Structure 1
Amino acid sequence: MTYAVRYYTKTGNTKRLAEAIAKELGVEALPISEAIEEPVDILFLGNSYYAFNIDPEVKAFVGSLDKNKVGKIVNFGSAAMLNSTYKKVKAEADKVGIPMDEKEFHCKGEFKGIHKGRPNQDDIDAAVQFVKQYK
């Protein structure tokens, strides 16, 4: 099984999750500005809500993916207010014909003092445990 981890973050919260996930998988966590060059079975994609939607850069990244290089996307992320970005990411993935895994990982993220210290070590440990099912 081959993996890639890409993320988009404005606060650094999702990057922390991405780095823990990548370490567990033995790959490097990279920002979405880094294209998927080699075929992967699973792309772990970290993102969050910004102004009640996924960032346009995330939409563009998913839209640029080659369905012949990405087997499926597993969504993960953190957010202070809203939870899952799954439906928003899936809508973009559907446009390029890449399936989304039905499972995803999400935890609270700190933003302007809300959910201070999140994601915390328990959240990071939970993300690592979530990823183990894909190994």
Structure 2
Amino acid sequence: MKYAVRFYTKTGNTKRLAEAIAEELGIEALPLSAPITEAVDILFLGNSYYAFTIDPEVRSFIASLSKDKVGKIVNFGSAALLNSTWKKVKAEAEKVGIPMDEKEFHCKGEFKMLHKGKPDANDLRAAREFAASYK
């Protein structure tokens, strides 16, 4: 299996999750500005809600993908208030013909005074365990 980890973050929370996932897979977590240049079986895509939707950068990144380069997308992320971005990411992935895995990883993320210290060590361990389930 060949993997890639890409992420979008404004607060650094999703980057921390991306790095934990990538460490488990023995690869590097990269921001969305790093294109997928080689075919991968699984793209772990980290993102969160911003203003009640996924960021336009996440939409643009998914639109740049092709099904000959990405086998499927596995969604992960953190958010202070809302939960999963899975449905929003799936809608964008469908436009380019890339399937979404049914599973995802999500945890609370610190934002201002909410969820201080999240994601914490337990969340990062859970993210690594989630990634290990794909090995």
Paired residue for 1:124?
124
Paired residue for 2:35?
35
Residue aligned with 2:73, SS: strand
CA distance in 2, matches of 1:30, 1:131: 16
Q: Which runs of 4+ in 1 moved over 6 A?
A: none
Paired residue for 1:9?
9
Q: Give 1:45 deviation, angstroms.
A: 0.2
Amino acid of the structure 2 residue aligned with 1:22: A
Gaps of 5+ in 1: none
TM normalised by structure 1 equals 0.99
CA distance in 2, matches of 1:30, 1:113: 28
1:99 aligns with 2:99: yes
TM normalised by structure 2 equals 0.99
Gaps of 5+ in 2: none
Deviations 1:74-122 (A, max 9, x none): 0000000000000000000000000000000000000011000000000
**What is the alpha-carbon root mean square deviation over aligned residues?**
0.4
Q: How does 1:53-68 map to 2 (within 5 A)?
A: 53-68=53-68
